[in-house]
């Protein structure tokens, strides 16, 4: 059986054997055997297990048996912003994992979409059908999913070329004096914790993030950090990029348990007052060219209640009004 895949943001930069194991749900050892047998080609050329794939790479697998899939359709509510025969745009809530992975085999956005879109199975991968990009579990906002191979290929190419418009909003700890800034620090896997990313690693990839201040909430008491409401424009799409870059700039995202854990009693108390149980990061805008019709499309997700409530709490505490949602 032949399987054609296009490498999405989630797998770009990975070894081909690691990426295919994640996409298909097949063991890495089996994938390596297929590669060694010449069953896997990348952009038309036979691959080796150590090859690192790039966003938009085309992967072909010729196997004797169909790829098994244990991803089940589940009747999980999903907020659809737009849908046609080629793609669906959703407003992902915080807390929803995008695709099955170890520890999250069900209850994901993919499970929900397999129920919503009956013809989605197999588009772009067995374990991640239709997925071209992803949002972290704790991040809310706009996400596009392909419903056919042509849409998957076209969207992957736009992500690869960085022609997608992506605007995020984040509530951070700290009050910068500058109105805007740019962070140009390479990102790679943490040297000792493989679940984390870092700007201090030997195998890092070029990464760029722009930010600007929408509102400032200065601290009213000594020892408290104050907060800022930022607009974020990621120019590349590395794993945890916004969270890592803002933390490296001394502006960690409120509620981030990995890169923004508060230190000191005053800071912990200030964070607790905002009642956030996830990183205060929202994918507000997604713009792209329709991959089959050529039309420019732009979607915006409203700010969810938890983030709107945190901004209102800060406005009442500091007397700063007019925070741009």
101-111 burial, b at 16+ Cβ within 10 Å, e below that, comes to eeeeeeebbbb
Q: Which residues contact 260 (CB under 8 A, 6 or more apart)?
A: 172, 173, 243, 247, 252, 253, 254, 279
Q: Degrees (nearest 5) of the Cα angle 249, 255, 257? A: 85
Residue 278, Cβ neighbours under 10 Å: how many? 21
Give me the active site residues, please.
136
- Give the Cα separation of 284 and 298 in Å (integer): 11
CB 291 within 8 A of CB 89: no
Give the closest residue to 219 by CA, choosing from 318, 89, 147: 318
Give the C-alpha separation, 80 to 91, whole Å: 6
Pairing of strands 58-62, 40-42: antiparallel
């Amino acid at each position: 059986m032949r399987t054609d895949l296009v490498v999405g943001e989630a797998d770009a930069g990975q070894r081909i054997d690691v990426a295919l194991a994640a996409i298909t749900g097949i063991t890495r050892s089996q994938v390596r055997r297929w590669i060694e047998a010449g069953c896997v080609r990348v952009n038309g050329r036979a691959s080796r297990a150590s090859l690192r794939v790039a966003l938009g790479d085309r992967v072909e697998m010729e196997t004797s048996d169909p790829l098994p899939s244990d991803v089940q359709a589940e009747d999980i509510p999903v907020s659809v912003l737009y849908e046609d025969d080629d793609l669906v745009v959703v407003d992902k809530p915080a807390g929803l994992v995008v695709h099955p992975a170890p520890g999250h085999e069900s209850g994901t956005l993919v499970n929900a979409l397999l129920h919503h879109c009956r013809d989605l199975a197999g588009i772009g991968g067995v374990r991640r059908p239709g997925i071209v990009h992803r949002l972290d579990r704790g991040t809310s906002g706009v996400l596009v999913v392909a419903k056919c191979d042509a849409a998957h290929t076209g969207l992957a190419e736009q992500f690869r070329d960085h022609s997608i418009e992506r605007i995020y909003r984040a509530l951070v700890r700290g009050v910068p004096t500058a109105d805007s800034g740019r962070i140009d620090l390479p990102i790679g896997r943490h040297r000792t914790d493989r679940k984390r990313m870092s700007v201090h690693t030997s195998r890092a990839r070029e990464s760029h993030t722009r930010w600007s201040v929408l509102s400032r909430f200065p601290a009213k008491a000594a020892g408290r950090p104050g907060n800022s409401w930022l607009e974020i424009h990621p120019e590349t799409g590395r794993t945890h990029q916004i969270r890592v870059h803002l933390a490296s700039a001394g502006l960690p995202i409120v509620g981030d348990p990995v890169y923004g854990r508060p230190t000191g009693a005053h800071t912990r108390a200030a964070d607790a007052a905002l009642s956030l149980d996830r990183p205060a990061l929202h994918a507000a805008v997604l713009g792209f060219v329709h991959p089959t019709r050529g039309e420019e499309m732009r979607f915006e997700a409203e700010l969810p209640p938890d983030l709107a409530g945190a901004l209102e709490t800060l406005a009442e505490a500091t007397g700063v009004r007019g925070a741009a949602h």
